[in-house]
Amino acid sequence: MTVPGRAGRTGARQLLRRHTFLLALALAIVLLAVNLILQPNFGWTAQLASFAPLALAAIASMPSILSGRGGIDMSVSPVMTLCGIVFAGYLAPAGLGGIEALPIVMVIGGAIGAINGLIVVWLRLSPIVVTLGMYFIVIGVNLKLAPKPARLADDNWATALAGDLGGFPGPLISLAIPVALWVLLGLTAFRRNLYAVGGNDATAYTAGINVSAVRVIAFCVGGMFAGIAGLVLVALVRTADSSTSSAYTLIAIAAVALGGTSLAGGKGGLVGALLGAACIFLVQSVLADAQVPQTWLPAIYGAMLIGAVVIGAVVSGEQSGKRA
Amino acid sequence: MSTTSELRLDEPRRPGAWRTLGAAQRKFPILQVVLLVAVFLVGVVTLPGFGGGLSIISVLVIAALAGLASIGQTVTILVGGFDLSVAGFIVAGALLVTQVAEQLQIGFWGSLLILVPGALVLGGLVGFLAHRFNIQPLILTLAMGSFALGIVRGPSGLAVVGQAPEWLTQLSSPISTTFGLPVPPILVIWVLVTIAMAVFLRFTVGGRRLSLTGANPVAAEYALVNTRRVWIIAFAFSALCSALAGVMLVSFAGNVDPNLGNPYLFISLAAVIVGGTTGGGPGDYTRTVVGALLLTVVSTVLIGHGLTSADQQIMYGAVILVAMAIYGRERRIRDRV
């Protein structure tokens, strides 16, 4: 919910506060230009294909963050790996590797998300503790389900999601699924209620919104997106490895924060998450091009996440030193 | 709400006894100690050799490592935060005293001169940023752990070949002795640290400021506590403890593996939460010690019965959820309106 501007704010900051994704947009454009200069043959389809899992992970983290109370879903990355393992290691060998696998992994992801949400509202625990517990549980399950990495057959339909689908870039289709779902949700009261709950849940409660239902649905929708992300990731890398269960935890949250979504909830959205993910992906691309060693990457991601949340906090003007 | 004395008038004795137990549980983790003894006895009965002297010392050494890795987590949870940088700082600390010390030819003590200020500065920065900009410390510590790991690993390259110095491995070898005592030095260190933490949190001004900041930051500000300084010190201390725990882990494992710290992230969280310390307090490090002992004994007994590391991870996740459901519940929305 928007806060009335205080006197003395500059016009630029006002604009940024209203359209929180503008910073990420500007950054993404600059980074894209740098990439295009460094790599004259910037293969769009291939680049989009390696961008899609990160973008989807960021989109999956977004709904629960929007729902407020620090609703960061730590379990997105392990759930992605879980869905990948289920798809490549169990569904495909059992003859369910077709397009029907997509709704199945979405149901798995959605169910885990819903469990997170239900624990949060019924047991009244902090979302971070719940999703952190779930993070450990799902990583353990992944290790049990796939002690060795599960391979996906090269002729599986899903590989088209990382390549060409009749001349049309496949990654655009995989990105279009959650975007379409999010737009459809925008036609219902849910999305407006989500922003209201994230802005101030007590106010939303007095306004008659079913706060608990909104929170559970937010976690559930995020889990469904994480399921799609898991499938798309396997389509790209062809293996599902339980040891990479936490690979997207940090950068997905960084992408959402960089995209101007307030980690306190109620502000931001899908466009921001996509642009934030684009920024991180393009930075990765520049680093790879400059041949920066792999071992430096944790330091760079860490610094980017710190930078993103601090800039986000400065721009949104949340500078109170007192914590209530 | 009626008071306890009014309830006792018209209710039978039983709820009164429960109430007394509940009140005692809030002061001291009785339930955890009872469970600890029970699980230990189950282990002695079902696993041959579990009750032997060396076996007990080995379990205590593992518990000491878990306990030492959870000091920082206890303090950050007491001020109302979380520390997800435990794993990152553990590996960073472990690498510094082995590989980096070797590469730069500065020796063990020379590398400590980098480790201590480095951890304090990075941890303090987290505390400052989290307080100044009202950012969830969870995110910042997640990022800072990654950053700390990266800046130590970056220059040294992928190959990890760190070896612990000979004397360091003596610290936590179950067969070593301390000044004639038949226990390894790490246990003595753990006991001393536990006493120091208990005295600090309970009887010093700094400890009271810490509790007050966690319990109610606004009230703490009115009581002239500089809560930002408390946060900076708490997170700097936590980072330092994690890095030093990394040194202890090197002494136990003998060499460094980049995944060395990963289990200690959830072990430290579980130890604190199972001990009964909740976000913003109440709680103290003694509870974490009980939590670390309980978790170590439980997982040792279960591993003896064929538990895999995957099962262990699932168990810790479930344990965090169950313990939080008992201790860490929040207020209803309708009560906050």
Nearest-CB residue to A206 (from B144, B149, B337): B337
Which residues on chain A are in Cβ contact (under 8 Å) with B133? 309-310, 313-314, 318-319
Residue in A306, A310, A314, A316 to test binding to B, most B beta-carbons within 10 Å: A306
Local mean pLDDT, 10-residue blocks, chain B (337 residues): 45 66 78 88 86 86 92 92 90 87 81 92 94 86 91 72 73 75 87 94 92 90 92 95 91 79 85 84 88 91 86 88 79 73
pLDDT digits (tens, 9 = 90+) for A7-22: 445 676 677 777 778 8
What type of residue sits at position B244? L
* Average pLDDT of span A53-74: 91
pLDDT digits (tens, 9 = 90+) for A153-171: 877 788 878 777 777 788 8
pLDDT digits (tens, 9 = 90+) for B45-82: 888 888 888 888 889 999 999 999 999 999 999 998 88
B151/A318 touch (CB, cutoff 8 Å), yes or no: no
Rounded to a whole number of angstroms, the distance from the CA of A59 to the nearest CA of chain B is 17
Tell me chain A's radius of gyration from C-alpha atoms: 19
Please tell me the predicted confidence (pLDDT) of residue A320.
46
From residue B20, give the alpha-carbon distance in Å to each of B17, B132, B235.
5, 42, 36
Which residues on chain B are in Cβ contact (under 8 Å) with A321? 131-132, 134, 227-228
C-alpha count within 13 angstroms, C-beta hemisphere, residue A49: 21
Residue A242: is its pLDDT beyond 50?
yes
- pTM attached to this predicted model: 0.84
Contact (CB, 8 A) for A121 and A212: yes
CA dist., res. B231 & res. B237, Å (int): 10
CB burial of residue A9 (10 Å; 0-12, 13-18, 19+) = exposed
Which residue of chain B is at minimal alpha-carbon distance from A251? B143
What confidence category does residue A259 fall into, taking pLDDT thresholds of 50, 70 and 90? confident
Q: What is the dihedral of CA B21, B23, B25, B27, to 10 degrees?
A: -140
Residue A81: is its pLDDT beyond 70?
yes
B328/A125 touch (CB, cutoff 8 Å), yes or no: yes
Hey, how many other C-beta atoms are within 10 angstroms of the C-beta on B48? 10
B140/A314 touch (CB, cutoff 8 Å), yes or no: no
Look up the ipTM and state it.
0.82
Which residues on chain B are in Cβ contact (under 8 Å) with A318? 133-134
Residue of B239, B219, B188 lying closest to B75 (CA atoms): B239
pLDDT digits (tens, 9 = 90+) for A114-124: 999 999 999 88
B312/A140 touch (CB, cutoff 8 Å), yes or no: yes
A299/B311 touch (CB, cutoff 8 Å), yes or no: no
Question: Could you give the 3-state DSSP secondary structure of residue B258?
Answer: coil
Residue of B52, B172, B32, B162 lying closest to B97 (CA atoms): B162
Contact (CB, 8 A) for B247 and B97: yes
pLDDT digits (tens, 9 = 90+) for A125-134: 888 889 989 9
Beta-bridge partners for A169: A164
Residue A83: is its pLDDT beyond 80?
yes
Please tell me the predicted confidence (pLDDT) of residue A321.
42
Which residues on chain B are in Cβ contact (under 8 Å) with A263? 135-136, 139
Pairing verdict, β A150-151 and A164-165: unpaired
Please tell me the predicted confidence (pLDDT) of residue B90.
93
pLDDT digits (tens, 9 = 90+) for B172-214: 777 777 777 778 888 999 999 999 999 999 899 999 999 999 8
Residue A112: is its pLDDT beyond 90?
yes
Rounded to a whole number of angstroms, the distance from the CA of A199 to the nearest CA of chain B is 14
What angle, rounded to 10 degrees, do the helices at A270-289 and A44-66 form?
140
Residue A282: is its pLDDT beyond 80?
yes
Please tell me the predicted confidence (pLDDT) of residue B175.
75
Please tell me the predicted confidence (pLDDT) of residue A5.
46
Q: Kindly state the percentage of chain A with pLDDT values over 70.
A: 93
Which residues on chain A are in Cβ contact (under 8 Å) with B334? 205
Which residues on chain A are in Cβ contact (under 8 Å) with B82? 128
Residue of B161, B162, B186, B181 lying closest to B58 (CA atoms): B186
- What are the residue ranges of helices labelled H in B11-52? 13-27, 30-46
A263/B324 touch (CB, cutoff 8 Å), yes or no: no
Which residues on chain A are in Cβ contact (under 8 Å) with B88? 298
* Average pLDDT of span A34-42: 81
B131/A323 touch (CB, cutoff 8 Å), yes or no: yes
CB within 8 Å of chain A, chain B residues 248-267: 266
* Average pLDDT of span A53-68: 93
Residue of A48, A49, A113 lying closest to A80 (CA atoms): A113
Please tell me the predicted confidence (pLDDT) of residue A10.
63
From residue A272, give the alpha-carbon distance in Å to each of A146, B133, B197, B332.
34, 21, 44, 32
Hey, how many other C-beta atoms are within 10 angstroms of the C-beta on A64? 32
Q: Which residue ranges make up each domain of chain A?
A: 43-245
Rounded to a whole number of angstroms, the distance from the CA of A292 to the nearest CA of chain B is 9
Which residues on chain B are in Cβ contact (under 8 Å) with A202? 333, 336-337
